[in-house]
Copies of this chain bind each other. A is one copy, B any other.
Amino acid sequence: MKVVAHYDNLESQQFDGGPVKGVTGRIAIGQADGAPNFCMRIFTIAPGGHTPRHAHDWEHEILVHSGSGQVLKAGQWTDVSGGSVVFVPGNEEHQFRNNSDQDLVFACLIPKGAPEL
Contact = CB atoms under 8 A, between A and B. Distances in A.
Interface of A: 1-8, 10, 28-29, 33-38, 40, 42, 59, 61, 63, 65-66, 71, 73-74, 78-90, 92, 94, 107, 109, 111-112
Contact of A1 (B5, B34, B38, B87): B87
B61 A111 contact: no
A1 B72 CA distance: 9
For the residues of A in contact with B, the DSSP-based class is strand
Number of identical protomers: 2
Contact of A35 (B1, B8, B59, B82): B59
B40 A61 contact: yes
B35 A3 contact: no
B111 A1 contact: no
